[in-house]
């Protein structure tokens, strides 16, 4: 499929690898946030979960903080580059549909696990002062997707290099990770109630779950799936009721 080798990637040099990484994430960020903002927030196509206005200058602040997070993703390109150069990390460029499907599923599940662990950790009192930047957005917007403190940007951005230590993924499978991550992240921050009649723990209630989390931060730490919150009893509607019994 792609006539690329690890040697060609290494030949780009560290700076170019960094710049390509930053440019790619800037492109993904605006490619998903801008349409979502005008379709969900400005449009009248779906019911919003929280009906409050954004804070003054919220969108500007979210974009600024997101650019810092993307810079952190770029910083992570340096150890990834060294890992590829030293043979610690590897990428397979041959394509196989069956392998692509199972690797993409594995990356999706790993993203869910990694996000839950990092997010839950930042909600411990000792670390919450760093996560508070994200909760500046009491009512989330699509632009909230990458709006983190730089430290959280580093830890969340490490999702790809960490899993690459344990398996040599196909290039195309790896590329599904940032795409599906930003897509679900933007949708999850769009403050949309896709299923008004369903409980918080319904699979497609991910956006209102996360909007509720921004409103009342002590439950619903998951990314897209509700199952880790259910398993660890961190699900809820913010009033002490578990999501399976609570309606919005």
> Closest by alpha carbon to 34, among 62, 65, 71?
62
Residue-wise pLDDT tens digits, 176-230:
999 999 999 999 999 998 888 888 888 889 999 999 999 999 899 999 999 999 9
Q: What domain range is 159 assigned to?
A: 6-190+209-220
Tally the domains of the chain.
1
> Closest by alpha carbon to 174, among 226, 106, 124, 97?
106
Residue 186 within a domain: yes
Residue 227 within a domain: no
- pLDDT range class, residue 247, cuts 50, 70, 90: very low
Average pLDDT over residues 93-106: 95
Q: What does the pLDDT read at residue 155?
A: 97
Residue 93 within a domain: yes
Q: Residue 169: phi, psi to the nearest 5?
A: -90, 155
Residue 163 within a domain: yes
Q: What does the pLDDT read at residue 241?
A: 53
The strand pair at 91-92 and 169-170 is best described as: parallel
Residue-wise pLDDT tens digits, 124-171:
999 999 999 999 999 999 999 999 999 999 999 999 999 999 999 999
Residue 183 within a domain: yes
* Sign of the CA dihedral running 228, 234, 238, 241: positive
C-alpha dihedral, 169 to 172 to 178 to 179, nearest 10°:
-150
Residue-wise pLDDT tens digits, 118-137:
999 999 999 999 999 999 99
Query: Among the listed ranges 23-32, 40-49, 81-90, which one has the minimum average pLDDT value?
Result: 40-49
Q: Is the distance from CB of 131 to CB of 122 less than 8 angstroms?
A: yes
Residue 18 has pLDDT above 70, yes or no: yes
Question: C-alpha angle with apex 238: 233 to 240, nearest 5 degrees?
Answer: 60
Distance between CA atoms of residues 195 and 203, nearest Å: 10
Distance between CA atoms of residues 226 and 112, nearest Å: 10
Distance between CA atoms of residues 150 and 220, nearest Å: 22
């Amino acid at each position: 499929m792609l006539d690329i080798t690890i040697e060609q990637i290494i030949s780009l040099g560290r700076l170019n690898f960094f710049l390509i990484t930053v440019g790619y994430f800037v492109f993904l960020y605006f490619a998903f946030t801008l349409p979502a903002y005008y379709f969900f927030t400005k449009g009248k196509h779906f019911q919003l979960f929280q009906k409050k206005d954004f804070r003054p200058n919220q969108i500007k602040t979210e974009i600024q903080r997101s650019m810092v997070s993307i810079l952190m993703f770029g910083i992570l390109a340096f150890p990834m580059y060294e890992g590829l150069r030293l043979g610690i990390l590897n990428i397979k460029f041959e394509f196989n549909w069956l392998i692509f499907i199972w690797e993409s599923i594995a990356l999706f599940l790993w993203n869910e696990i990694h996000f839950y662990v990092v997010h839950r950790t930042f909600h411990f009192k000792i670390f919450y002062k760093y996560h508070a930047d994200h909760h500046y957005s009491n009512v989330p917007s699509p632009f909230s997707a990458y709006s983190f403190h730089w430290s959280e940007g580093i830890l969340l951005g490490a999702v790809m290099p960490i899993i690459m230590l344990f398996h040599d993924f196909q290039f195309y499978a790896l590329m599904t990770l940032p795409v599906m991550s930003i897509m679900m992240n933007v949708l999850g921050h769009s403050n949309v109630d896709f299923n008004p009649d369903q409980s918080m723990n319904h699979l497609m209630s991910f956006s209102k779950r996360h909007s509720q989390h921004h409103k009342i931060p002590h439950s619903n730490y998951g990314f897209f799936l509700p199952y880790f919150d259910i398993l660890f009893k961190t699900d809820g509607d913010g009033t002490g009721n578990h999501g399976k019994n609570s309606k919005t």
